[in-house]
Structure 1
Amino acid sequence: MSDSPAPLADPHLFFDPIEGRRDVVVLGSTGSIGTQAIDLVLRNPDRFRVTALSAAGGRVALLAEQAWRLRVRTVAVARESAVPELREALRARYGAGEPLPEILAGPDAATEAAASECHTVLNGITGSIGLAPTLAALTAGRTLALANKESLIVGGPLVKALAKPGQIIPVDSEHAALFQALAAGTRADVRKLVVTASGGPFRGRSKADLASVTPADALAHPTWAMGPVITVNSATLVNKGLEVIEAHLLYDIPFERIEVVVHPQSYVHSMVEFMDGSTLAHATPPDMGGPIAVGLGWPERVPDAAPAFDWTKASTWEFFPLDTEAFPSVGLARHVGELGGTAPAVFNAANEECVDAFLAGRLPFNAIMETVTAVVAEAERAAPRTGAGDVAGRGAAEGTSLTVADVLEAETWARARARETAAKFSDLRQSRDEQPAEARA
């Protein structure tokens, strides 16, 4: 392992340390990660100052409130149609004669904000649309606090080509846990990484049991409060599959040495097993305050960033093996991660389309992974003809041969094929429902 490339995330290194307060850009400021990050900043004004915010544009009043409370220089919004409402909301919040922040609008607004002058960019955007801002922040030389795992998944070689040692600090709870546990030893000391999964709302159910679950069932996560896409990804365990790929890319650990274990309480966020047989587990109550604080403040700790355990109270911590039959997503994620190239982008884009279809009631729960598996298999068989990119490994071996255009082309193809395949599932289901009961029996 000593001869392999340096990992993207290394707790022994930190990029561009500075004294005093850090200027931060928050991307996805009105989402779950963004709002919690802003709360942390407001509680620690001596440590952090937010200079720019970006959001999609669906929660304009909240975005204006954030801009006013933080007194940011710039507000970026993806939906240009939201600008008049945003400007009006800002005027209503700011005092008479007080200058308003600069407004950036359009699909590239977050990317422009990510490249603006600051110390750290927190990328809390959901989905692969976070790739361009991730690349912009790295190119501009900013420390990247990365909560947008999809940008690393779909653009792994691109990110690895740009990131300097210590420039990326992972923010999602599992990788923040691995990041901190890895500080206890050298890379040569590591035997395996163990990523924990809560098991989601359907832990213990068989594949047959999952056939009739509803979006409301899938959104009822037992331990975490997250956005709908991430919550459904946790129900299918796609989120855990993405985290396996992310662990491989961040820490340069082979896939066969990355395991997933189910831990319903979500107290232990991940573990590192070392060559001497010892295992370091990173544990906190389920709360994103700690990982966000690590992303913004590393190598320093932020006092009281998150609640601690009350060790005077009894508790039980359980661990179970992953049910790969009911939840095949982790195995498929390993497969596309090993293929490299645009295969992870195909996997992620197809899944995003299927989750949308499931939430809209057009696709059964089990058909999410059936559809994603079919799209990945088709891309693998006929990549040159479909335009999905060379999923057999282009970019995996040559590092920088993958381009943003390759990723976008693969995603466009995968989304279209996922929609078409999902529509077939929906048509078959409707046809079956319309048959007489005796014909369905």
Structure 2
Amino acid sequence: MKKKIAILGSTGSIGTQALDVIAANSDIFEVEVLTAQSNADLLIEQAVKFKPNVVVIGEETLYDKVNAALEPLDIKVYCGQKSLASVVENENIHTVLTALVGYSGLIPTINAIKAGKHIALANKETLVVAGEIVTKLAIENKIDILPVDSEHSAIFQCLVGEYINPIEKIILTASGGPFRGKDRSFLKNVKKEQALKHPNWDMGAKITIDSASMMNKGLEVIEAKWLFDLKPEQIEVIVHPQSIVHSLVQFEDGSIKAQLGLPDMKLPIQYALGFPRRLKSDFPRFDFINYPNLTFEKPDLETFRNLSLAFEALKKGGNMPCILNAANEVAVDAFLRDKIGFLEMSDVIEFCMQTINFIEKPSLEDYIETDKSTRQAALNKIK
């Protein structure tokens, strides 16, 4: 039988590429659910092509438009955040691809896990905000959380067949983004148009800014802790401008395994959806001759303070990563709206980490309240 897939965030970068993967493997996968926040036109286009059972549009004012377009196709249409959070419980779904942006992915992912759905995780913030709760639920419900981020997919691929062999450390690679090698005097005056020009990857605005500030790598560090049950000192970050080596694992005997490939998110998406099978693809192949020099360097933690703040949040634990994430989401939005400068994003995050009430063992309700109070504090700081 075909695997029935729910794609949360089908109109974004990951969602559209996932649909390309599904279209190329229509004998294996079938779309059961598609969701989008506000891109009604693309959502309708996708639904007409893939004919899911259910569609959800987050923006309630767009419901009539989407419903009118899809009603002749007998596709159920719902709207709003509650529908988004509950649609994942559909009994026909095998795997939920969570490709939502930021904190919004948390509750739908938790609901999907409780409903026994396997998770293809492209929403790192879910584990950043509430990693302990989410991973515990996954174990209790006997479901897989399969990483879609290229770095975590690389680690996961390196660990296949190595389950009895303890990890000494993992090495997450970072491209360095558009500002690699720049100093603070340069970064002080950069504009969003510069920050949105990533040298290697084509991503959404939020994750592209996170990459430019190195916060994306900081969030990935926290995500890796929960995905692979690691201690902070077992996670290392190294800058690799070519984005060919996607990440590495070092084992206790000193041996290192790496996963390599051209920067193309379709490969980790396909690996997560098809696991444990490696599905044949026509993706472009990497050729060493075209990349005679693969280089590596230490990250500049003084210039790109977000990465050091993320390590600090990871070591502190509790609700501190939740504070880090909420403050960052507000700061990135403010930067994209020209309300603050590039370097000021770190100032906002650090302020929130120093002022929001720390909770050592938070409940889900604590995380929800922490997110809310942090966002308000960040907005007040920006004003």
**What's the TM-score once normalised by structure 1's chain length?**
0.84
Measure the CA separation in 2 of the matches of 1:262 and 1:300. Answer: 30
Distance 1:323 1:187, change over 3 A: farther
Counterpart of 2:247 in structure 1: which amino acid? S
Aligned to 2:11: 30
Equivalent runs, 1:13-412 vs 2, <5 Å: 20-56=1-37, 58-90=38-70, 98-117=72-91, 118-164=93-139, 167-186=144-163, 188-304=165-281, 306-379=283-356, 383=357, 390-391=358-359, 393-395=360-362, 402-403=363-364, 405-412=365-372
Q: Secondary structure at the residue paired with 1:407? A: helix
Match of 1:429 in 2: none
Q: Tell me by how many angstroms 1:184 deviates.
A: 4.4
The letter for the 2-side match of 1:101 is: I
1:413 aligns with 2:373: yes
Q: Give the drift of 1:166.
A: 5.4
Contact 1:54/1:113, CA 8 A, preserved across alignment: no
Residue in 2 that maps onto 1:427: none
Q: Please list the CA deviations of residues 128-165 of structure 1 after superposition, one character each: whole Å capped at 9, or x if unmatched.
A: 11001110110010110000111111111220221025
1:108 is paired with a residue whose SS is helix
The separation in 1 between residues aligned to 2:294 and 2:143, in whole angstroms, is 33
CA–CA distance in structure 1, aligned partners of residues 43 and 151 of structure 2 = 28
Identity between Structure 1 and Structure 2 (%): 40
Shift of 1:311: 4.0
- Show CA shifts across 1:45-98 (max 9, x none): 111001111110x2111111111111111001111111111123335xxxxxx4
3-state SS of 1:261 partner: strand
Q: CA deviation at 1:310?
A: 2.7
Q: Which amino acid aligns with 1:108?
A: K
Q: Aligned-pair RMSD on alpha carbons?
A: 1.4
Check the 8 A contact 2:113/2:143 in 1, yes or no: no
Shift of 1:313: 3.3
Equivalents in 2 of 1:411, 1:150: separation in Å? 12
Q: Which moved more, 1:176-185 or 1:136-145?
A: 176-185
Rounded Cα–Cα distance in structure 1 between residues aligned with 2:368 and 2:166: 38
Query: Could you tell me how far apart the structure 2 residues matched to 1:85 and 1:210 are?
Result: 43
The runs of 4+ residues in structure 1 deviating greater than 6 Å are none
Instruction: Report SS of the residue matched to 1:155.
Output: helix
Residues 288 and 306, structure 1, Cα contact 8 Å, conserved in 2: no
Q: Which amino acid aligns with 1:257?
A: Q
Question: How far 1:275 sits from its partner (Å)?
Answer: 1.6
| SS in structure 2 at match of 1:217 | helix
The 3-state SS of whatever aligns with 2:377 is helix
Deviations 1:239-272 (A, max 9, x none): 1000000111110111111000000111111100
Note the residue ranges of structure 2 that are not aligned, 5 or more in a row: none
1:5 corresponds in structure 2 to none
Q: CA deviation at 1:37?
A: 0.4
Matches of 1:25 and 1:340, distance apart in 2: 31
Please give the alpha-carbon distance, in whole angstroms, between the structure 2 residues aligned to 1:235 and 1:64.
32
Q: Deviations over 1:304-345 (max 9, x none)?
A: 163221345353211110101001212211221222222111
Contact 1:60 1:89 in 2 (8 A): no
Q: 1:284 touches 1:309 (CA, 8 Å); kept in 2?
A: yes
Structure 1 stretch displaced more, 326-335 or 218-227: 326-335
What's the secondary structure of 1:355's corresponding residue? helix
SS in 1 for 2:184: coil
Greater Rg, structure 1 or structure 2? 1
Size of the aligned set, in residue pairs, is 380
Q: Could you tell me how far apart the structure 2 residues matched to 1:333 and 1:154 are?
A: 12
Aligned to 1:398: none
**TM-score (normalised: structure 2):** 0.96
Where 1:87 maps in the other structure, the secondary structure is helix
Aligned to 1:14: none
